[in-house]
Chain A
């Protein structure tokens, strides 16, 4: 396969910037696309070319496959990187680009389709030996007696779920065998009433669950390796907020077992490029079960990059060009500990409500072990049209304890004004004994964590003095000339020091 010369980056925000960087480093030209709302976003300025593809709404711009194909043809792109979201896991998009001779920088179409559907994904990985959450099959009509008979093999607590349900509706928790018959009876009644279908099935309830995922990487020559786990148990409404590697709940032996399982899942799907196999892990028993496979680059790939040293996006570009993987499994070593915080334009004090507006200033932290991936800059407007991720703070240190401390330092340095962000949430989350000791689960944020108004009388006093001096200066400016305008420095005196002692 020929070298990629020009890559269409079919995305926006931080991930578009990430991909443009990798392309530049590999001597590959980049083409950005943008909606009318994104004309002034950094990804447009960073790319070699930029093409307007439509109005603000994603379905009229970033999701318009026809427009993206047209841009690819007109600009002469020979590759397309979909990033995450939008068209990244759309098999039809991958196929359409390929048929135009534009290389899809991602997995093969067949793997995207197999893994895109939950049922076909499970049917693909189960024969490869991947454990699925124990339960009876969905869809079959099973009588109460055989449900009760299979319950012992599933274990308690378990869920009685309506076959026609979904999204948490039509579920009953049964905690012991004694409650089972009654639980099934009520679940059937509810299912009949809600969905007009009384079929139910059983599934193990993992009440104390972690989200553990394995990054895999493969080439077009049949080589597949894993890059270890990421622990994404700090989530809210299924949206990940913090990701880390290593997981405080995974030791080396477990990492290799889960890694090997993930490689088998990927092999069963005929996979190449970067992908992620997601597992739910029982905190109490350390059993793990296959959830799904994401056939794309993920938001949190950064965490794995930091601890393994592998540049996943550059590796994706090489694999798309037909090159073999540059790493064998035995080359992959995990060094230190990395934590990613997703800085979102959401107000943690107001039930994480989206916060929209112009970024009036942005000062990102820096220093050893600190990486920021962002797609905004001062002056950027946060609009309601796209997801709320504005920056990823990825912090490494030698141990998890030190990585937590360094992350807190970086969060305190991170200054974003004009909108509200999740920074105060992370500062408090990283201080909880549960997070510090690694004893969290996927419902921790929603069920146990409370954001506190922490009173700090010293800083309240500082804020009061500063705001008063600003208010006082504004009053003064209205009537008198600003005495400081001819100073050479960019800094101006707002409130003056009362000089103590002699001299000035």
Chain B
């Protein structure tokens, strides 16, 4: 199976055959990965270089931690890669409606916009208090506020939709 992999800022082409033999950009690679009873702990030996890793699945791939630094890795097999190519040809992208979610639970301190407002990228939309800190959620892109789902004083859970941008 062939994989297209993006780790941090780099792209890699990695093949793993039925016997588990690995090729990186077509070149054979001597790599041995072992998992453990601790579900996030892995040991990887490449050649004779040894690495301790923490790997967790996340949206769109894996978070890999090595030496105190986290790398987000997206692993796409060939089939998914082809499908993604077809999708991007037929449109899509980020022109549709977009939900702004709270990444954490907390209390809404302020709602700075109302339905119909035209907002700039970076404009503050909602302020949520969590862990004694105020966190401002800003518009990731320009758009019109389509709906506001929370009001001041509301308790929100993680991933609650705060509002949507069109």
Write the residues of chain A forming the contact surface with B, with a CB cutoff of 8 angstroms: 345-346, 353-357, 360-361, 363, 383-388, 411-412, 414-415, 417-418, 420, 423-424, 427, 453-457, 459-473, 475, 490-498, 500
Cβ-defined contact, B56 with A495, below 8 A: no
Closest 9 CB pairs of A and B: A496-B20, A497-B32, A467-B73, A464-B7, A384-B130, A490-B37, A463-B71, A463-B64, A495-B33
Chain B interface residue count, CB cutoff 8 Å, equals: 65
- Given known contacts A463-B73, A467-B62, A492 and B35 CB-to-CB distance under 8 angstroms: yes
Supply 16 A–B pairs (Cβ within 8 Å), ascending by A.
A354-B135, A385-B131, A388-B133, A427-B69, A455-B8, A460-B10, A462-B44, A462-B46, A465-B46, A466-B42, A468-B75, A469-B16, A472-B3, A493-B34, A498-B20, A498-B22
Question: Is residue B122 within 8 Å, beta carbon to beta carbon, of the partner chain?
Answer: no
CB-contact partner of B34 in A356, A427, A491, under 8 A: A491
A363 to B41: give the CA distance in the assembly, Å.
10
Contacts beyond the supplied A361-B38, A459-B69: 14 A-B pairs with Cβ under 8 Å: A361-B39, A361-B41, A412-B67, A417-B65, A424-B70, A456-B69, A461-B24, A466-B53, A467-B64, A468-B16, A469-B22, A470-B35, A470-B42, A472-B1
Chain B residues, CB < 8 A from A465: 12, 14, 22, 24, 29, 31, 33, 44, 46
A460 to B7: give the CA distance in the assembly, Å.
5
Chain B residues, CB < 8 A from A353: 103-104, 133, 135
CB-contact partner of A464 in B65, B73, B105, under 8 A: B73
Chain B residues, CB < 8 A from A423: 68
Interface class of chain B by DSSP: strand
Cβ-defined contact, A354 with B64, below 8 A: no
A354 to B130: give the CA distance in the assembly, Å.
7
- The digit string for B11-53, where 1 denotes a CB below 8 A from any CB of A, is 0101010011110100011111111111111111110000111
Question: Is residue B141 within 8 Å, beta carbon to beta carbon, of the partner chain?
Answer: no
Tell which of A361, A464, A491 has the most Cβ of chain B within 10 Å.
Answer: A464
**Which residues B88-138 have CB closer than 8 A to chain A?**
103-106, 130-133, 135
Cβ-defined contact, A457 with B10, below 8 A: yes
Question: Is residue B148 within 8 Å, beta carbon to beta carbon, of the partner chain?
Answer: no
Cβ-defined contact, B54 with A411, below 8 A: no
Residue of A nearest to B73 (CB): A467
Chain A residues, CB < 8 A from B158: 356-357
Cβ-defined contact, A498 with B21, below 8 A: yes
CB distance from A177 to the nearest CB of B (A): 39
Number of A-B contacts (CB under 8 A): 193
Chain A residues, CB < 8 A from B68: 411-412, 414, 423-424, 427
Question: Is residue B142 within 8 Å, beta carbon to beta carbon, of the partner chain?
Answer: no
Chain A residues, CB < 8 A from B39: 360-361
Chain A residues, CB < 8 A from B38: 361
CB-contact partner of B30 in A356, A412, A454, A500, under 8 A: A500
Cβ-defined contact, A417 with B64, below 8 A: no
Chain A residues, CB < 8 A from B35: 470, 473, 491-492, 494
Cβ-defined contact, B135 with A475, below 8 A: no
Cβ-defined contact, A417 with B40, below 8 A: yes
A412 to B29: give the CA distance in the assembly, Å.
26
A385 to B131: give the CA distance in the assembly, Å.
5
Chain B residues, CB < 8 A from A495: 16, 20, 22, 31-33
Residue of A nearest to B129 (CB): A384
A357 to B157: give the CA distance in the assembly, Å.
12
Cβ-defined contact, A470 with B130, below 8 A: no
Residue of A nearest to B3 (CB): A468
Cβ-defined contact, B9 with A460, below 8 A: yes
Question: Is residue B5 within 8 Å, beta carbon to beta carbon, of the partner chain?
Answer: yes
Chain A residues, CB < 8 A from B46: 462, 465
A385 to B133: give the CA distance in the assembly, Å.
10
CB-contact partner of A491 in B5, B43, B54, B69, under 8 A: B43
Cβ-defined contact, A386 with B10, below 8 A: no
Chain A residues, CB < 8 A from B71: 459-460, 463
CB distance from B127 to the nearest CB of A (A): 12
A353 to B42: give the CA distance in the assembly, Å.
28
